[in-house]
Structure 1
Amino acid sequence: MPPTQHPTAWDDPATRRAWAKLIISALLGQIVWPAVWLGLLAGYVIMSITWTLWLFFVPLLYSFYRAFLQPAYISWAFRTRRLLRAYPWQVFEKPESGIGKIPGATAGDVWLKFPDPERPGETTALILKVHIRSMWWRRRLGRGYASPKTAQAGQVSFAGDPRFAAVIAVPGPRRLYVILRQPTDGRGHVDPGAASPAALERARRAGVRLPDPQSALP
């Protein structure tokens, strides 16, 4: 069933199943990673041999890092759902991508360009900042050459507005990942640009932080 057939991405049962896997994984991680960290720490204390610290150091550090990140994974899962409930899936064949060399991107930042929904012929770039959840995508985009890995991301499902935020996925959908525009002020607001009132209202429903319309009045 074509993903664009549904009014929103969330109306697709396959999308809801993919999101259920995402949130279950995040919730399980909230239990498993702290338990792993505590188990390793207890093992080190019980052994009480100084040289064993080197055996436990890397696993302890990584499990603590993952335990620290899990609340953010849960938050991102619910942010993903808000976007999926507001926008339909669109499928793009080999969207333009690259590494660095655009405004706002560092030398190692991977980006994707998608059509501006209100300006035919123009595109807007979304940047995948360095993060553990972005690694799958970063290894397959922006390379400028074809390979078995880049072919895995040759077709990209997109739900969102590239001027604000979006969920990208491999059609199915799989590998759900949220990309956000970078805030333009100290309060975490995204620049609304020249987007129409309808586009701004939809973005707000999707959880995008935009300036209060009243703040623009004299």
Structure 2
Amino acid sequence: MERVHHPTASAAAWDDPATHDAWLRLFAFAVAGQLLWPVVCAGAFYAMLLIGQWSMWFLLPIALYALYRTFLQREYIASAVQARRILRVYPWQVHRTPESGIGQIPGAKSGDVWLAFPDPDQPERGVPVILHGHAGSVWWRRRLGRGYESEKTRQAAEVWFAGDPRFAGVIAVPGPRRLFLLLQFSASRSGAGGEGQASPESVERARRAGVRVAT
């Protein structure tokens, strides 16, 4: 039977060796993509020149997608760096079947998937965070907010969260695996979170985690 890892009780998620290893894998894949996709793009264009015009039907889509991923990969690297700063400040919190949904909250479009976590200053109040982002959010968006249980939704029945939902955070499934950066764009990251106001201590902590908080 596979051993289940639980986050260590520490001041920061980064102090957990498993978290450190998970982040290194995330960063390594981001850097590898930054090296690989330009090569794929250039190779596809070069192959079109060698093979001839008819090859454009299947090589041009590959080249354009690789070009798109080349520019997108910078966001993966930046997200990994931001995630590391958050993990060095906040501890892991384990949430079983956290509230989630699709649309139907302020600022969300009809297809936007969101998660809600407790407000650190008012734990009785949940703060939703929309899963904005790139291809890295697809795994999460297919497993959250469905309103019914399936094999896929059970894979995200337990969510680890490190951060402050009014500003930013990192989510993962037990392991941790599937690290993903969440950014709160409502209220320009002022910490208002829809109602209430973040304490000065919470704002300072978010700034130490590298979040640009509106004054």
Match of 1:150 among 145, 149, 153: 153
Structure 1 residue 36 and structure 2 residue 40: aligned?
Answer: yes
2:96 corresponds to which residue? 93
Runs of 4+ in 1 over 2 A off after TM superposition: none
Match of 2:21 among 4, 17, 21: 17
Q: Give the CA deviation at 1:141.
A: 0.2
**For 1:107 and 1:90, how far apart are their aligned partners in 2?**
29
Q: Is the 8 A contact 2:144 2:156 kept in 1?
A: yes
2:34 partner letter: Q
Q: Deviations over 1:19-56 (max 9, x none)?
A: 00011111111111101111111111112x22211021
Confirm or deny: 8 A CA contact 2:8 2:16 kept in the other structure.
Answer: no
User: Residues of 1 paired with 2:123 and 2:161: CA distance?
Assistant: 17
Q: Which residue of 1 aligns with 2:128?
A: 125
Q: TM-score, normalised by structure 1?
A: 0.91
Cα RMSD (Å): 1.2
Secondary structure at 2:88 match in 1: helix
TM-score under structure 2 normalisation? 0.93
Aligned to 2:200: 197
CA drift of 1:2 comes to 3.4
Superposed CA deviations along residues 154-213 of structure 1, whole A, max 9, x for unmatched, are 0000000011111000011000001101154xxxx412331111111000011111134x
Amino acid at match of 1:200: V
Question: Identity of aligned pairs, percent?
Answer: 54
Contact 1:109 1:130 in 2 (8 A): no
Deviations along 1:121-150, one digit per CA (max 9) or x if unpaired, are 111001012521100000000000000000
